[in-house]
Structure 1
Amino acid sequence: MITPREHVLGRIADHLVGLGRPLRVAVDGITASGKTTLARELTALVAARGRSAAHLSMDGFHHPRAIRHRQGRDSADGYYLDAYDFSSFSRLVLEPLGPGGDRRYRSRIIDLRSDVAVDEPPVPAPDDLVLVVDGSFLQRELEWDEVVFVDTPFAVARDRGTRRDTELLGGPEQAGHAFDQRYHAASRRYLDEVGPAERASVVVGNEDVARPVLRRIGGRADAVVNLFSYGTLQAPSVQIEHFGRTLVGKEDVLPGHRQDWVTITDPAVVEVSGTDRHPIVRRTGDAADAVAGTMLEVTTAELAAADVYEVDDYRRALVRLGSGEVAWVYLQA
Structure 2
Amino acid sequence: MITPRDRVLGRVADHLVALGRPLRVAVDGITASGKTTLARELTAAVAARGRSAAHLSMDGFHNPRAIRHRQGRDSADGYYADAYDFQAFERLVLEPLGPGGDRKYRERIIDLGSDTPIDEPPVVAAEDLVLVVDGSFLQRDLEWDEVVFVDTPFEIARDRGTRRDTELLGGLEQAERAFDQRYHAASRRYLDEVGPAAGASVVVGNADVANPVLRRIGGPADAVVNLFSYGTLQTPSVQREHFGRELTGAQDVLPGYRQDWVTITDPAVIAASGTDRHPIVRHTGDPADTTAGTVLEVTTEELAAADLYEVDDYRRALVRLGSGTDAWVYLAQRP
Please give the range of the TM-score, normalised by the shorter of the 2 chains: over 0.9
Could you tell me which residue of structure 2 aligns to residue 58 of structure 1?
58
Letter in 2 for 1:273: S
Secondary structure of 2:166's partner? helix
Could you tell me which residue of structure 1 aligns to residue 89 of structure 2?
89
Letter in 2 for 1:83: A
Distance 1:295 1:259 in 2: 17
Could you tell me which residue of structure 1 aligns to residue 141 of structure 2?
141
Could you tell me which residue of structure 2 aligns to residue 324 of structure 1?
324
Unaligned runs of 5+ in 1: none
Could you tell me which residue of structure 2 aligns to residue 213 of structure 1?
213
Letter in 1 for 2:184: H
Could you tell me which residue of structure 2 aligns to residue 301 of structure 1?
301
Matched, 1:155 2:150: no
Aligned residues: CA RMSD: 0.4
Unaligned runs of 5+ in 2: none
Q: State the Cα distance separating 1:218 from its structure 2 match.
A: 0.3
Could you tell me which residue of structure 2 aligns to residue 7 of structure 1?
7
State TM-score, norm by structure 2. 0.99
Secondary structure of 1:311's partner? coil
Q: State the Cα distance separating 1:57 from its structure 2 match.
A: 0.3
Could you tell me which residue of structure 1 aligns to residue 101 of structure 2?
101
Q: State the Cα distance separating 1:248 from its structure 2 match.
A: 1.4
Matched, 1:68 2:68: yes
Secondary structure of 1:167's partner? coil
Q: State the Cα distance separating 1:208 from its structure 2 match.
A: 0.3
Secondary structure of 1:120's partner? coil
Letter in 2 for 1:32: A
* 1:82-120, Cα deviation, whole Å (9 max, x unpaired): 000000000000000000100000000000000000000
Aligned length: 333
Matched-pair identity in %: 85
Matched, 1:38 2:38: yes
Distance 1:7 1:249 in 2: 28
Distance 1:135 1:248 in 2: 39
Secondary structure of 1:241's partner? helix
Secondary structure of 2:138's partner? coil
Secondary structure of 1:168's partner? coil
Q: State the Cα distance separating 1:48 from its structure 2 match.
A: 0.4
Letter in 2 for 1:315: R
For 1:232-311, list aligned pairs within 5 A: 232-311=232-311
Could you tell me which residue of structure 1 aligns to residue 122 of structure 2?
122
Secondary structure of 1:19's partner? coil
* 1:190-230, Cα deviation, whole Å (9 max, x unpaired): 00000000000000000000000000000000000000000
Distance 1:258 1:209 in 2: 38
Distance 2:221 2:118 in 1: 39
Letter in 2 for 1:56: L
Letter in 1 for 2:52: S
* 1:31-80, Cα deviation, whole Å (9 max, x unpaired): 00000000000000000000000000000000000000000000000000
Letter in 1 for 2:322: G
For 1:169-248, list aligned pairs within 5 A: 169-248=169-248
Matched, 1:29 2:29: yes
Moved segments of 4+, more than 3 Å:
none
State TM-score, norm by structure 1. 1.00
Distance 2:165 2:98 in 1: 35
Q: State the Cα distance separating 1:233 from its structure 2 match.
A: 0.1
